[in-house]
Amino acid sequence: MLRILFSPRVVVLHLLAIGALAVCGLLGRWQLGVFEDSGKPQAALDPAPVAVSTLTGVGEHLPGDAIRRQVTAEGTFDADGQLLVAGRDEGLWILTPLDLGDGTTIPVVRGSVPAAGHPATAVPEGRVTVTGRLLASESSDSVRRSRQLPPGQVAAVSSPELINVWRGVRLRDGFVVAASQSPAPAVAATPVPVGPPTAAGALTWRNLAYAAQWWIFGLFAVFMWWHFVRDAVRSGRAGPGPEAESSPATGGESRPAAV
């Protein structure tokens, strides 16, 4: 049997089967990887900054395509309304209302500080221009948690909560996380990192089907290898036919015994 399994013709079958199985397996894994990557968030276009007033309004929910967009906001900070947002990995966020001069206000996260008395919490005077990214209002269930914080601190940047804190202010929905400010403050806070917008990926089920097809091809190659090797072993084990049993010396004819 070993002589048959390692004969040149059968060895070629072994090599072809191994090659086909490896190629089909790798191609199937590649298609599966394409399928998995298609469901991941993809980087979306990151347009140039636009005025914040063009993306958010008073009493209107921030549209989804405006989230994380680059914006500019020009106005004056209201020092009396400044708050600190607790419970952040970066420390305390400095949240200051920015009066846009048109009767509306947008909350601005100017950065983060490690403690409430940090010099960067000082509110810049005069007219400023803030460039940053626009984020949606955070969950309003923070009201209860904010009551457990020291005065002047809140648990989230929530428009419904801020409307109650900054009374008499026409507040635009969402808030701006500042990346830069002009003129620059005397003591700058640590910027809060916010990445560009992302788009939800759509799973490409076609690639998953391709992966399954390649693996099926690999299994079929294994089946064909087993089929051909089995036939080779069976044909090699079969002995010579009845015709081969006749003796060539007698020409294949039997003679009667001598009396």
CA distance 83 to 75: 18
CA distance 154 to 157: 8
Q: What is the pLDDT of residues 97-154, one digit of tens each?
A: 999 999 999 999 999 999 998 999 999 999 999 999 999 999 766 556 666 788 899 9
Predicted confidence band at 40 (pLDDT cuts at 50, 70, 90)? low
Is pLDDT at 58 greater than 90 in this prediction? yes
For the entire predicted model, the pTM comes to 0.60
CA distance 123 to 137: 22
CA distance 175 to 162: 11
Q: What is the mean pLDDT of the chain?
A: 84
pLDDT of residue 245: 46
Q: What is the pLDDT of residues 76-86, one digit of tens each?
A: 999 999 999 99
Strands (E), the chain: 42-43, 50-51, 70-77, 83-88, 91-99, 105-113, 127-135, 153-154, 175-182, 198-199
Of residues 145, 65, 71, 141, the one with CA closest to residue 106 = 71
pLDDT of residue 230: 83
